[in-house]
Amino acid sequence: MSLPQYVTINGTSYASEKLSDAAKMQAMNVQVVDAELARLQQQVAIAQTARNTYVAALIDAVKAKGAAVAAPAAAVAEEKPKKPRAPRKPKAKAE
């Protein structure tokens, strides 16, 4: 990797050829790290897209199962309703 003609640090541009060897090395390190960050951000975007797809598939699977479960429940609702239970008698107090 080579440095661009000018390196901008905190808004100030410096000619790369006038930087010390130590400064050039650090500028190259920054370039390497920036490239790695860009690669990792792309990997995160790919993973997020995959996650969104899996969530959509999960929602579809839950809805499909819910529809299959809801059909028998509707059939049960058509049966004769049960009689309501009589209220319970209060327990006798122990003295």
pLDDT over 60 at 3, yes or no: yes
What is the gyration radius of the CA atoms in the chain, in angstroms? 35
Rounded Cα gap, residues 16 and 56, in angstroms: 50
Per-residue confidence (pLDDT) for residue 75, from 0 to 100? 53
- What are the tens digits of pLDDT across the range 35-85? 999 999 999 999 999 999 999 999 999 998 776 665 555 555 556 667 777
DSSP letters, 55-94, are: HHHHHHHHHHHHHHHHHHHHHHHTSPPPPPPPPPPPPPPP
Per-residue confidence (pLDDT) for residue 37, from 0 to 100? 98
> For the chain, what are the domain ranges?
6-65
Instruction: Taking the CA atoms of 45, 37, 16 and 12 in sequence, report the sign of the dihedral they define.
Output: positive
